[in-house]
Amino acid sequence: MSLLSDLKWVSCHFRVTEVLKIRDREETKKRILEAVGSILEKRGFNNIGINNIAREAGIDKVLIYRYFGGLPELLHKFAEQGNFWPSLADIAPGELELSEGSMADSSLALLNGYFRELKKRDMAQELLRGELAGKNDLSAETAEIREKQGKQLIEMLSLGTDFSRDLDIPAVASILSAGFTYLLLRAKTSGTYLGIDLNSDEDWKRIEKALELLVRSFFSLHKDEDSQ
């Protein structure tokens, strides 16, 4: 084998080795991020830590510091992905008709979409529990994402109709969504609230019917006031 052939072989081998290293690094980073989500979903917010994450990912904890810098940076990267929280497309998959006559229907579609998607996401529920327990790096990151999305949902209802401008939709939506979220989070720690079985599909249907009554009454009352 000539010197030129040897050099070509060394160069090719080096490039292949570097590609494999990059691929392995990216795969390891992916496993670490997935481990954060897995721990949240299966074991709860309080179990998020370097040692538990390394154990879940099946890697040496040194790699977490090497690839992310530390736990705060890792949690920041995890929050950036946004996979834990339902997207606007999940909550409102279809077109909303925004007019005075359809405001109640549109509001119910958004609220029910949010509730439906949150009930399916154990990881999102654990993030909310952790946030209620106290401010931390991850809760601060994820709260910012949720607040931005919430404002977008309110804007969807507030655009295109003069009727909506006279309503304090953010205040009403805050009360309704906070109440539902509390009941959902409570279901894991305490099975009942005021006689409502929070682990019963039938009782959740009662809550949904009550929600519809409140929303329709709110818009109907406002229409009655305007007509006087």
Per-residue pLDDT for the chain (228 aa), expressed as one digit of tens each? Answer: 555 555 454 455 445 444 445 568 889 999 999 999 888 888 877 788 899 999 999 989 999 999 999 888 888 888 877 777 888 888 877 666 555 557 788 888 888 888 999 998 888 888 888 777 766 667 777 787 788 888 888 877 765 555 555 678 888 889 999 999 999 999 888 889 999 999 999 999 999 999 999 998 888 876 655 555
Whole-angstrom CA distances from 45 to 9, 42, 108 are: 50, 9, 31
Phi-psi region of 134 (alpha: psi -120 to 50; beta: other; left: phi over 0): left
In this structure, the answer to whether residues 223 and 159 fall within a common structural domain is yes
Looking only at the bridges linking them, the beta strands covering 192-193 and 196-197 are antiparallel
In this structure, the answer to whether residues 219 and 157 fall within a common structural domain is yes
- Determine the Cα–Cα distance for residues 192 and 142; give it in Å rounded to an integer: 28
Number of domains composing the chain: 2
In this prediction, residue 121 carries a pLDDT of 87
| Nearest residue to 169 via CA among 180, 150, 184, 154 | 154
| Nearest residue to 150 via CA among 83, 228, 80, 92 | 92
In this prediction, residue 97 carries a pLDDT of 57
Domain that holds residue 147: 88-227
In this prediction, residue 7 carries a pLDDT of 46
- pTM value is 0.71
In this structure, the answer to whether residues 215 and 176 fall within a common structural domain is yes
| Residues with Cβ within 8 Å of residue 71, at least 6 apart in sequence | 48, 49, 50, 64, 137
In this structure, the answer to whether residues 112 and 158 fall within a common structural domain is yes
Q: Is 193 helix (H, G, I), strand (E, B) or coil?
A: strand
Q: Is 196 helix (H, G, I), strand (E, B) or coil?
A: strand
Length of the chain: 228
In this structure, the answer to whether residues 122 and 223 fall within a common structural domain is yes
DSSP codes joined into one string, 50-70: HHHHHHHHTS-THHHHHHHSS
In this prediction, residue 227 carries a pLDDT of 52
In this structure, the answer to whether residues 154 and 113 fall within a common structural domain is yes
In this structure, the answer to whether residues 67 and 178 fall within a common structural domain is no
In this structure, the answer to whether residues 166 and 102 fall within a common structural domain is yes
Write phi, then psi, for 190 (nearest 5 degrees). -145, 125
Q: Are residues 93 and 75 in contact, defined by beta-carbon separation less than 8 angstroms? A: no
In this prediction, residue 19 carries a pLDDT of 41
